[in-house]
Structure 1
Amino acid sequence: MFKNFIKNFQEKSPKERFLLVIGLTVFLAYFVLGLIFILWKTMPVNMELRYRIAFGLLLIVYSFIRFFRIFNSNNE
């Protein structure tokens, strides 16, 4: 599976590779932001704990949706 990913990555045009890298970067940004909302105790944003956890989980779920969209588009 990983070999196919590398092979597909090498066959892509520079524009497609750039968009793939940007997509993975955005995935990581949403994932890390979700973790920050969940784990940072003294966050400067004034939110109740349950809302921070809910928003953090929402960001993490959205990041995985983006990841699977990127992964599926890479296989084509």
Structure 2
Amino acid sequence: MNWLNNLKQKSPKQRFLFILGLLIFCFYLLLAYLVAFWDDFPLEITTTGRRTMGGLLVLYASFRFYRLIKKEDE
């Protein structure tokens, strides 16, 4: 519940940047899913390459989410 109180005390700019960070996180997860599992992918990449790229995008999205949450705790 403490994080809920912290959200209410933030300025509109901080709340906007937090929501924007969450949207970017969701975008990277969606991009990872599309790269990894889209059968008609427009680039000529092997299935293993696409899955590897998708996994790297998931790791990057996780890193961004970690930094977003860590920034919110400060």
Common fold, TM-score beyond 0.5? yes
* Counterpart in the other structure of 2:54: 56
Identity fraction in percent: 34
Q: 1:62: Cα distance to partner?
A: 0.3
> Which segments of 5 or more consecutive residues in structure 2 lack a partner in the other structure?
none
RMSD after superposition: 0.9
Instruction: Please point out which of 31, 34, 37 is paired with 2:32.
Output: 34
> Which segments of 5 or more consecutive residues in structure 1 lack a partner in the other structure?
none
> Normalising to structure 2: TM-score of the pair?
0.92
Q: 1:5: Cα distance to partner?
A: 2.1
Measured against aligned partners, the alpha-carbon deviations of 1:1-50 in whole angstroms (never above 9, x if no partner) come to: xx222211111100000000000000000011001111111212221111
One-letter amino acid matched to 1:15: K
Measured against aligned partners, the alpha-carbon deviations of 1:34-70 in whole angstroms (never above 9, x if no partner) come to: 0111111121222111111111100000000000110
> Normalising to structure 1: TM-score of the pair?
0.90
**Highest RCO, 1 vs 2 (Cα 8 Å, sep ≥ 6):** 1
